[in-house]
Amino acid sequence: MNILLHGINISTQFQTCILQLIQAFEEKGSNVKLTKNLFNSFRKKGDLSPIVTPLNSKNDLAAIDVVISIGGDGTLLDTISLIGAYEIPVLGINTGRMGFLATIAKEDIKAAVKDLLEGRYALEDRSLVRLESSVPLFKGLNFGLNEFTIHKRDTSSMITVHTYIDGDYLNSYWADGIIVSTPTGSTGYSLSCGGPLISPLAKNFVITPVSPHNLNVRPIVVSDDSEISFKIEGRSEKFLVSLDSRSAPIDASVELKIKKELFVAKLVKFHDYSFFDTLRQKLNWGYDMRN
């Protein structure tokens, strides 16, 4: 196997675990590469074996079999933006707190490596959201695993987002912003704004207003075959759009359209994984504080 490790701002206490992870892969005959920033952070300390090399260009991704994302869910989102249309399987190792996407805990790393190398896993295809805009945005990285967001900028006043589904008028949202979430992203920003939880393999988008002025305006679930377009109004005429953790300023003249991306994100899931178990654990469902 050709393995790529990716991490952002790895804490000192977790760096030892990464070195053990690299050693475990090497002992099984796997070739290990690190993304450049991660490679440089270890090379300065002289901890890496000579056969570990950096990922020099995106063209090198064609030879990678699995990417290991080391960090929280934000790191995994960054990993998906790195991979793009290559659709390389991604395994998330959690060094953060919540971990809806990066689900492998520190104490489970050895067992996860063994199962991965012996093929005891499945792949979940997670749909992505794609942005089409009348001006170039995000340097060509116009897709996201979690959500697309329109938000007010430089003002305390609300904005108005006129929203259309396949050309049919849906609503004019008078709010701080609006979120279009994938099923994967339903546990993220959309959830904190009152959006519903959706099973990861559902074929839907969720449109969730951010702090709407009218309290009877609720999130709505639509087919991910839909084409969602927007026209924005506001006092400042300056707005902010984001795809996962990437953001860019725009003005009211920019045309925005959301569709399902043509490629998917492939997440490695082991056979004892359950999305519903994760929900119960992370959200403390069924937990009685009296006990």
pLDDT of residue 209: 98
Residue 140, Ramachandran bin (φ over 0: left; ψ between -120 and 50: alpha; else beta): left
CA distance 228 to 33: 39
Q: 256-260 and 228-233: which strand pairing? A: antiparallel
Does an H or E element contain 18, and which? helix 12-27
pLDDT of residue 98: 64
Query: What's the pLDDT tens digit per position in 138-179?
Result: 998 999 999 999 999 987 889 999 999 999 999 999 999 999
CA distance 266 to 227: 23
pLDDT of residue 46: 65
3-class secondary-structure state, position 242:
strand
CA distance 243 to 129: 9
pLDDT of residue 284: 85
Among 242, 228, 206, residue whose Cα is nearest residue 161: 228
Active site residues: 73
CA distance 21 to 92: 13
Do 42 and 5 touch, CB atoms closer than 8 A? no
Under-70 pLDDT residues of the chain: 45-46, 96, 98, 291
pLDDT of residue 291: 66
pLDDT of residue 101: 87
3-class secondary-structure state, position 282:
helix
Q: Which amino acid is at 170?
A: L
* pTM of the entire predicted model: 0.92
Using CA atoms, how far residue 60 sits from 91, 194, 219, in Å, is 18, 41, 41
Do 254 and 237 touch, CB atoms closer than 8 A? no
Among 18, 23, 58, 66, residue whose Cα is nearest residue 38: 18
The token pair that represents 266 in the structure block: 């492939």
What is the phi/psi pair of residue 2, to 5°?
-100, 115
